[in-house]
Structure 1
């Protein structure tokens, strides 16, 4: 309909910001993208310039708007930006960063996890003691950069930083602020106990609003910079994984999403707060609901690492069709070769901040193809174990599993994942599922759809489905038992390696 509203959905992820402009059916009319840098000054340190979050978002939106006709530009009414979670910045009174932002991949806070991480904190915040939640990195700052922490006028995640850039107000969504690890998750608000642990005052934190609610209007100079003359409203968002669930229409407790991106993330919605070892609990883009989320930080990152370090040097880590073909010809299970895919520590189900990767069973007969397949199998078997644990905890069998992210483009990895999990794996036909999830929330705010759930079903479509080979599934169940035993046997070794690395660091 020519007079119906258009909305802007943004995904500000780990290394780029993407913007799409969509109508009420989910049709993408235009899109834009801007990349930014990720810095690794030391082993396990991952940082960014917070100003790049806004510069890339602003640029991506402007590019998308410029691709529309003037008539379509005039139809834009709302914008919503999903973001990389567990990423934060310390800023002064003017909103200028006091130091580089620390992102979710950062693993510097293992000592703080061991000192402060408890089951009581898990039950309160929804997050297991792990290096991913921001609260432990805040504790690291209190130990190593206390003056910067004291000087901070605000401590904000990416969403609050973008909202301030667009509106001039320090406001955050409850479904993005929760990832700092400072929440009473059952109440979806700040926890005085956790603020005390972090040495923070409420005045240093943004105001909270529910997901999918209208925060304010975009400052005129900003919207004009996008090429728009009309008023545009900013809608409170959720994290990128939770937005991806909305972007593929996975809104029920039996409908799982699987993000085969840099990290491997999967989850289902829950109408009530639950906590368990196998998943962390996040606030959902559906107001008042939660997402029970499995997290494996070494996902497509690990496959890309292998291709970059051990693959064809000409491709510089990009997908390698020849390697995929060779790995496809390798026997299922790689003859018992076992990979522990913990290049960025282990999250679900063990939550061990000092564990690292291992490949066990090497022999002279193994080459690149066998090693690459074993890496993909190791990641997939771990996800299969985690999804089984999720279903056992909730008591709800999965009826659908929809894949998003760059990893789903690999036929080899899709097949391995479907076989390992034993559930049909449906592809997402759009590239930007998280941005679509943000658009779902923005379109809900227009009133066109009566709820986030209704918008998600109306605006999303499904792609092709990969059916599991149940004979292969049985092989992966058997290999999974060996993988789990390897972890248990190496757990003490990981502790010893961690202490060794503290005394004799790589750099």
Structure 2
């Protein structure tokens, strides 16, 4: 029996650490948050100080446990930004800044080593995101770093070591690094040897939901947690979002409308394809099949900050610029009066994997204004998600009949309705905003017996609120526009390459 009926979920993302104390029905009882920096020393580099992850996590946990009975807390689990990794020395200290998932410096390594066989082993189409390619970059450009590396850790593994003193992690946390054979959920000795490292330089792998250790006396003093508290193997933030949306079976996809847009479905069998990337799921032995749009709310924020020029304070409005633009966009017909966008502001990921691809607006005329561009961007992201979801369905032979939306973009009524209309599927919005962190809480609650299984914990602790059904008066128009959209990237692909070469 668990020591209490509460668990803590920690989400150490790209910008902040969040800690939430969850009740047995998924109600957030208290939470804490602490931010940290992301640096870009060069245009294609993205780095962080791993010590900032630990400092922020300590602060977030201390704040979260201040207002609850700590004796009721039974376990803690961690979810985190994926693909990001740190190289540590024998004392467990960072040898250099951590290389973040958004770092794209390893393009030459992708071209040289990104084979179909690597894709088959890892489930990751060749691209600079997985850590394996960045480790190959280090082997070439910083061989002394690799030589002195005693341990390569994902973000979760780093925090688990600080909490328990053990170098352990879950295979659902290490898998996004691109060094795990997804047919066995074990490290690929072949891939590690290519970098020049052995499995002794990586944490031991455990199933998500397995106890990895307990809080040490030192960690208890730093976090305010009880010493001896069980630490449960967590998972990457995408897979955690899946659990936090209550998805434990095929047929439903989560749609995280964040800076990037990540959508995933659950599968009981392994498959690899360029139309999605495959990861270990939160349910041990299962898989998460994901599509990824690099620019989600990033594209919207770009337009609002760089071009929209909507100053609501000067207008005396208690509204955000996005709310004003949404009101304008809502008055426009489907298709934004003939304006259509290609949303590759940050390049194209699934299924094209083209880092030369860029954003485009087609059909501009003198009648178009700010509301038209805003709506066209929202529609383009819906078109792209329909394209990706349909491609994944064709590859797997399984239909997605229901979409569960989360993330900042899910607060937009007009965007959720456009998604439902374009994708011709019901879109439900999660009732708990911190659903990614909740996914870690689901694992912790099942691990210590608050619920008998991960599936039961997900069913009992998650739920949806608002729902959007397709407006069938818009379906025909969006079907015609979608056929135009599908032709845009193929028509522009060679121009994107030529533009990159000209620059």
TM-score by length of 2: 0.94
1:294 corresponds to 2:296:
no
1:309 corresponds to 2:311:
no
What are the residue-to-residue correspondences of 1:12-411 with 2, within 5 Å? Answer: 12-68=12-68, 72-312=69-309, 320-411=322-413
Which deviates further from its counterpart, 191-200 or 271-280? 191-200
Equivalent-residue separation in structure 1 for 2:242 and 2:375 (angstroms)? 28
1:214–1:236 CA contact under 8 A, matched in 2: yes
Equivalent-residue separation in structure 1 for 2:427 and 2:118 (angstroms)? 34
2:265–2:288 CA contact under 8 A, matched in 1: yes
2:120–2:272 CA contact under 8 A, matched in 1: yes
Q: Which string of whole-angstrom CA distances, capped at 9 and with x for unpartnered residues, describes residues 365-412 of structure 1? A: 322221121111111110011111222222222232110101100112
Q: Which string of whole-angstrom CA distances, capped at 9 and with x for unpartnered residues, describes residues 288-345 of structure 1? A: 1111111112112221222222234758997521111112222211233232212222
Equivalent-residue separation in structure 2 for 1:435 and 1:291 (angstroms)? 17
Structure 2 residue matching 1:463: 3-state secondary structure = strand
Classify 1:113/1:229 alpha carbon distance in 2 versus 1 (closer, same or farther; 3 Å): closer
Classify 1:134/1:364 alpha carbon distance in 2 versus 1 (closer, same or farther; 3 Å): farther
Structure 2 residue matching 1:29: 3-state secondary structure = strand
Structure 2 residue matching 1:331: 3-state secondary structure = coil
2:70–2:226 CA contact under 8 A, matched in 1: no
Q: How far is the alpha carbon of 1:498 from its aligned partner?
A: 2.9
1:254–1:399 CA contact under 8 A, matched in 2: yes
What is residue 505 of structure 1 aligned with on the other side?
none
2:75–2:444 CA contact under 8 A, matched in 1: yes
1:5–1:446 CA contact under 8 A, matched in 2: no
Classify 1:237/1:379 alpha carbon distance in 2 versus 1 (closer, same or farther; 3 Å): same
Structure 2 residue matching 1:355: 3-state secondary structure = coil
- The alignment's C-alpha RMSD in Å is 2.1
2:3–2:73 CA contact under 8 A, matched in 1: no
Which deviates further from its counterpart, 256-265 or 37-46? 37-46
Q: Which string of whole-angstrom CA distances, capped at 9 and with x for unpartnered residues, describes residues 2-26 of structure 1? A: 9842110111111111111112221
Structure 1 residue matching 2:481: 3-state secondary structure = helix
Aligned residues: 498
Classify 1:467/1:186 alpha carbon distance in 2 versus 1 (closer, same or farther; 3 Å): same
Equivalent-residue separation in structure 2 for 1:120 and 1:444 (angstroms)? 36
1:346–1:353 CA contact under 8 A, matched in 2: yes
Equivalent-residue separation in structure 1 for 2:227 and 2:142 (angstroms)? 44
2:4–2:74 CA contact under 8 A, matched in 1: no
Equivalent-residue separation in structure 2 for 1:140 and 1:484 (angstroms)? 35
Q: How far is the alpha carbon of 1:59 from its aligned partner?
A: 0.9
Equivalent-residue separation in structure 1 for 2:50 and 2:17 (angstroms)? 13
Which deviates further from its counterpart, 402-411 or 25-34? 25-34
2:38–2:48 CA contact under 8 A, matched in 1: yes
Structure 1 residue matching 2:234: 3-state secondary structure = coil
Q: Which string of whole-angstrom CA distances, capped at 9 and with x for unpartnered residues, describes residues 45-101 of structure 1? A: 222211111111111111000122xxx211112100101111111122222222221
1:31–1:67 CA contact under 8 A, matched in 2: no
Which deviates further from its counterpart, 355-364 or 405-414? 355-364
2:429–2:466 CA contact under 8 A, matched in 1: yes
Structure 2 residue matching 1:363: 3-state secondary structure = coil
Structure 1 residue matching 2:263: 3-state secondary structure = strand
What is residue 459 of structure 1 aligned with on the other side?
461
Equivalent-residue separation in structure 2 for 1:174 and 1:150 (angstroms)? 25
Which deviates further from its counterpart, 179-188 or 116-125? 116-125
2:337–2:372 CA contact under 8 A, matched in 1: no
Aligned counterpart in structure 2 of residue 430 of structure 1, from 429, 432, 436: 432
2:241–2:254 CA contact under 8 A, matched in 1: yes
Equivalent-residue separation in structure 1 for 2:140 and 2:500 (angstroms)? 19
Structure 1 residue matching 2:464: 3-state secondary structure = coil
Equivalent-residue separation in structure 2 for 1:321 and 1:229 (angstroms)? 44
1:443–1:449 CA contact under 8 A, matched in 2: yes
TM-score by length of 1: 0.94
